[in-house]
Amino acid sequence: MAVGFPSASVFGQQFPAEIYLSSDGRMLFTGGRAPSGLYDSALIRRIDLQFSQSNYWNLLKQNYESQTEIPATMTVEGVVYDSVGVRFKGETSYTQLPQGSEKMSFNISVDFVHEDQRIMGYKTLNLHNCFQDPSFLREVFYLHQNRHNIPGARAAFIELYINGESWGLYPSLQQMNKDFIEEWFLSNDGANWRADAPSSGAPGPGPGPGGWGDGTAALNYLGSDTALYQEYYTLKSSDTENPWQKLVDACYYLNNTSQANMTTVVPQYIDVDRALWFLASEIAFGDDDSYVYKGKMDYYAYYEPETGRLTPMEYDGNSALVNSNINWSPFMNQNNVNYPLLNKLLAVPEFRQRYLAHLRSIITDQFDVTKTAAMLDGYQSQIDLLVQNDPKKLYTYAAFVSEITTLKNFISTRRSNLLANSEVAQTGPAITDVAFYDESGIVWNAPQNMKETTVRATVTHTQGLSSVKLMFSDQIVGNFATAIMYDDGIHNDLAAGDGVYGGKLPARASGTWMRFYIEAAAATEAKTVTYSPGG
């Protein structure tokens, strides 16, 4: 929710694409906006690649390990893009394809020769071959659901033609580069790492010598020498000084702060709320190309210079929603010290309850069985004919139809399994009728210069309440301060004991932006929390 938001700008600048106000100007959203433009999910665009080399296919195969691109002319909706760079991409999706298959994944650099060339604002295309996904839509669906809660790539379907020959249907996924960062953060002036060992060639499949969860690239503290981290992380971009030291600092405080000091120290170096959303999303959807499973790759980490915090970001979702992961514990790897986001954060009661609240939100919203079934049916209807006619597809049409049912069953069963956990099943307080009032008591009216603002909410729980807190900030990003809310009749909360809680936002100059939300904890042993807005 928001107070005093006069326009959709941040100190004279436009909001990032994924931060936006509700139509009434009272709620500030991050994520969940329907993609448009290149990634408009209602459209299936045709992409034509024309190679001049007669041996282009052999060149692409020869260049796989070196990741060297070869030039091609790309045409999309009548617009010609000269000299784009094309190469095969992927790991197991390339090395484990059936003998003779030509359904490769492609990386297309629109700016390969012409530095300023873009397609609808983007300079890179990622076309995935749906290896191990007969449904064609597992990753598109997963990203669509995740983007409500965490930074996630945009995705849509395209139809690919190479030298006039149909290569069939492909999901097209956004590159997690500086353009992506700029859509989710106030700037892209920070540092962005991929948790993966740097390599001049294509990485091979499998966990590598140390195995998954080997204590290397899961934000583990390896020592004070930045060179130790450069062996396990790839710095994709940076416009900040000493980026590697920023990564070391985040790892140090995450791993070495005492539990008693975690809630005050770690949020200065890591965006804990987004980290918990990130963990909850990967675990809920059973994503084994993930931090929570591999603990050393398949995620990004971005250092945000505006806040000084590191944010982990989900990457590579083609192995989510698979039945082998349907019984994952909601706290998997919490006892493994090599997974410090899980091991350290979930050991802190306050963070654990926040994580559980986020997980319940995902179960309620993204695991709504009726809505997800309708969404999957919509995707199926959209791509059905293209799948039938795809001459290069890796799986049969019958497998495509069957896999849609598999995805629906995963959502239903996974939801039930998560709710069967005693901690997940706890019910938090109910928070309703949230509103703010100016100094004259007028609801939803911005206060005058240097005047306090009253916030009221009705909060109840069958076993009573442990606390009700008003969390606020006069910055668009960053951590929140805390004010206690009361139901005692003397804190602008109406009558004592009536379930209406009151709190104050501090006085600020006119035009100051103020974010706030409410946290309520039940008077139970677990102190189960609820947030408004939800999450």
Q: What is the pLDDT of residues 449-488, one digit of tens each?
A: 999 999 999 999 999 999 999 999 999 999 999 999 999 9
- The beta-strand segments (E) located in 215-318 are 234-238, 299-304, 309-314
Q: What is the pLDDT, as a whole number, of residue 201?
A: 41
pLDDT of 374-388, one tens digit each? 999 999 999 999 999
Helices (DSSP H) in 147-242: which residue ranges?
178-184, 227-230
Round to whole Å and give the CA distance between 429 and 89. Answer: 48
Give, in words, the CATH class of 2-12+427-532: mainly beta
In tens, the pLDDT along 211-247 reads: 899 999 999 999 999 999 999 999 999 999 999 999 9
Phi and psi torsions of 91, nearest 5°: -115, -95
Q: Determine contact, residues 418/362, Cβ cutoff 8 Å.
A: no
Instruction: Look at residue 11 and tell me whether its pLDDT is greater than 80.
Output: no
Helix (H, G, I), strand (E, B) or coil at 246: helix
Which residues 6+ apart lie within 8 Å of 99 measured at CB? none
The H or E element spanning position 82 is: strand 79-89
pLDDT at 210: 61
SS3 content of the chain, % helix, strand, coil (to 5): 25, 25, 45
136 pLDDT band, cuts 50/70/90, is very high
Q: Is the model's pLDDT at 316 over the cut of 90?
A: no
| pLDDT for 211 | 82
Burial class of residue 73, CB neighbours in 10 A (0-12, 13-18, 19+): middle
344: tokens are 């350290």
Token pair of 142, please? 């997963």
Confidence of residue 5 (pLDDT cuts 50, 70, 90): very low
Alpha carbon distance 278, 296 (integer Å)? 15
Return d(Cα 409, Cα 386) in angstroms, integer.
24
pLDDT > 50? residue 3: no
Q: Are 191 and 250 in contact (CB under 8 A)?
A: no
What does the pLDDT look like over 200-209, one tens digit per residue?
Answer: 444 444 565 5
Q: Which residue matches tokens 């005492």?
A: 258
Domain ranges of the chain: 2-12+427-532, 37-173, 188-365
Distance between CA atoms of 126 and 317, rounded to whole angstroms? Answer: 13
Q: Indicate if the alpha-carbon torsion angle 404, 409, 415, 417 is positive or negative.
A: negative
Spatial CA neighbour of 127 closest among 147, 153, 157, 154:
157
Strand 165-173 with 155-162, pairing: antiparallel
Maximum alpha-carbon separation in the chain: 82
Q: Give the pLDDT confidence score for residue 258 in this predicted structure.
A: 98
Cα 240 off chain centre by: 23
Q: How many C-beta atoms surround the C-beta of residue 448 within 10 A? A: 11
pTM for the structure as a whole: 0.95
User: 142-173: per-residue pLDDT in tens?
Assistant: 999 999 999 999 999 999 999 999 999 999 99
**pLDDT of 6:** 37
Q: Does the pLDDT of residue 286 top 80, yes or no?
A: yes
Beta bridge partners of 107: 87, 126
Q: What is the mean pLDDT of the chain?
A: 95
